[in-house]
Amino acid sequence: MSPITRRELLAGGAAAFLSLSGVGGRVRRAQASPERTASVEKYGGFKMGLQSYSLRHFSLEQTIQHVARLGLHWVEFFPGHYPVTDDESRIAQVAALLEPHDMHLPVHGVHRFGGDESHNRRIFQFAKLAGIPLLSAHPSSDSFPILDQLVKEFDIKIGIHNHGPGHAYDRIEDSLKAVEPWDRRIGFCPDTGHCMRSGEDPVEMVRRMGERLYGMHLKDHAHIGRDGPPETILGEGALDLQGFCQAMREVEFDAPISLEYELNPQNPLDDIRQGLENFAAAAKAD
């Protein structure tokens, strides 16, 4: 297979995402609603979404309602909200919950992939049925030959997720080395907060991951260092939001961003809302 460009990857993801032959025969919107267009404009051209782990103490239905009230049109469900399934009726039910809000599911995860080909394949089959173009992932070293074949077969991307100090993809260099031998659909969906915990700058991370940066978990911490600094509301920590936005533009990042906030899980919405406002201001100022 010949190498594919970032433009082709993005076009393929968009086609799957906005397919007119949606799950269960449902017709999906071919064009953005005015509300979705306004959301992109608010965030300086970025497609701002939410990692649903931020709302892990709420049901799936409640989470969708909260995301809609936040004015967001992209959500990355973690498996606790939307488990992997081959039940097409359940997939159609979730699609029906999202559709009235012009809400889309560009990423699902974070998934652990190992050497069990049937386990890995089931996750890809679910993503294909649900129209999900990217799986955020924590793959073991022995999973890469299997994933290399699955991303080609299903044309679904993998985004490796770092988990901070002590994990396999602790450092930027670890992630870069892990994907280098494999199909370009195996790339990155990193977490800025975990990057900071590992003592590295998320702005540098964006620039180095470049064309293989397919997703993003956006989080802030009080300091950049390995001492486990506390998480903060986005824009109130050490993350250079303006520099981050500038770097994302430089690498032509065009996928949705998943804000993730792990503090105050029983009542996180005010903090999330403040973080979104901080990002909107930074995105327009860079």
Alpha-carbon Rg for the chain, nearest whole angstrom, is 18
Q: Looking at residues 208-237, what average pLDDT do you find?
A: 93
* Residue where the block lists tokens 């994907």: 179
For the chain, the average pLDDT equals 91
The pTM (predicted TM-score) of the whole model is 0.89
Please report, for the chain, the start and end positions of each structural domain, with discontinuous segments joined by +. 6-285
pLDDT of amino acid 30: 59
The CA distance from 247 to 242, in Å, is 9
- What average pLDDT does the segment 178-205 reach? 97
Q: Is the pLDDT of residue 10 over 60?
A: no
Q: Is it the case that residue 209 has pLDDT exceeding 50?
A: yes
Q: What letter would DSSP give residue 211?
A: G
Return d(Cα 42, Cα 60) in angstroms, integer: 26
Longest dimension (CA), the chain: 51
Unique residue bearing structure tokens 């931020």: 54
Whether the pLDDT of residue 163 is over 70: the answer is yes
Cβ contacts of 82 within 8 Å, gap of 6 or more: 52, 60, 94, 105, 108
Cα–Cα distance list, 268 to 7, 137, 208 (Å): 36, 25, 32
146 pLDDT exceeds 50? yes
- Report whether pLDDT(7) > 60: no
Residues 93-130 have pLDDT tens digits of: 999 999 999 999 999 999 999 999 999 999 999 999 99
For residue 228, pLDDT beyond 70: no
Report the alpha-carbon distance of residue 170 to residue 147 in Å, rounded.
Answer: 21
- The whole-number pLDDT of residue 14 equals 37
pLDDT band at 193 (very low <50, low <70, confident <90, very high): very high
In CATH terms, the fold of domain 6-285 is TIM Barrel (3.20.20)
Predicted pLDDT at 28: 54
Please state the rounded mean pLDDT for residues 273-284.
Answer: 98
